[in-house]
Amino acid sequence: MMAATATIHPTAIIDPQAVLGEGVDVGPYSVIGPNVRIGSGTRIGVHCVVEGYTTIGSDCQLFTGAVIGSIPQDLKYAGEKTELIIGDRNRIREYVTINPGTKGGGGKTVIGSDCLLMAYSHVAHDCLIGNHVIIANTTELAGHIEIEDGAVMGGLVGIHQFVRVGRLSITGGCSRVAQDIPPYSTCAGYPTQVFGLNNEGLRRAGVSAESKELLHKAFRLLFNSGLSMSHALERVAKEVAPCPEVTRLLEFIRQSKRGVCRA
């Protein structure tokens, strides 16, 4: 079903069962599959493919060659119905690839709203991406990765399966990420290490000076004291006054299954 105001290039192929909202624009030679739903105002560029059980929100933009919703690159996938859900106002640049979920991973890959996925980046099956996330060029996400709101991944970063990336963190280019990235941190390296707070990200998010000072104290104990992580967590709980950011940082570390990056 196609809205009356949708603009479809004559060379595009749209399955009659696909649902396109008001003002959707589909460019030359793009292909839209039967189980796709696209929200109002979204623009699909040239030579894009959108297939599978894929839902794309409103006011998104897909650039040349993006392949969205193709089956997971997982040998355990046996053709079962799984989903890819993408929110609103996302920019998905040239030749980005995004796969839906698998049965073993919950059946869904989810991307929030207001994200930027730069050229040639890849989001594998069962990833959960928050809002306002930036993933730079050629960064590759393996399966089951979770990236929280406001995180920034530099270019040419490789992220291992099941890693979590904390909110408002920034990871430098060419890093190899095999453990969780703590919230609010600046990380980089091969393997990735914590270098300190993401002060610019905290400023842009409007985090108060008081909370930033408490985070600095927590970071010194957690990542620069030489203590074991369990002892560092105890010290922070005793010596650093609670605030929402410190509380979230401690919760994230305690919930980690892969361990967190350290200095």
Spatial separation of the C-alpha atoms in residues 153 and 142, rounded to whole Å:
14
Contact 182, 169 (CB under 8 A): yes
Catalytic residue among 41, 65, 101, 143: 143
Q: Count other Cβ atoms within 10 Å, centred on residue 145.
A: 23
Burial, 76: exposed, middle or buried (Cβ in 10 Å; 0-12, 13-18, 19+)?
Answer: exposed
Catalytic residue among 39, 126, 144, 180: 126
126 is catalytic: yes
Catalytic residue among 125, 132, 144, 150: 125
| Sheet with 13-14, side-by-side order of all strands | 13-14, 31-32, 49-50, 67-68, 97-98, 122-123, 140-141, 158-159, 176-177
Max CA-CA distance within the chain?
Answer: 66
57 is catalytic: no
Q: Is 95 helix (H, G, I), strand (E, B) or coil?
A: coil
Cα separation values, 132 from 156, 210, 262, Å: 19, 24, 25
CA–centroid distance for 217 within its chain? 28
160 is catalytic: no
What DSSP line would sit under 30-90, residue for residue? -EE-TT-EE-TT-EE-TT-EE-SEEEE-TT-EE-TT-EESPPPS-TT--S---EEEE-SS-
Contact 57, 21 (CB under 8 A): no
Side-chain half-sphere CA neighbours of 262 within 13 A: 15
Which residues participate in catalysis according to the annotation?
125-126, 143
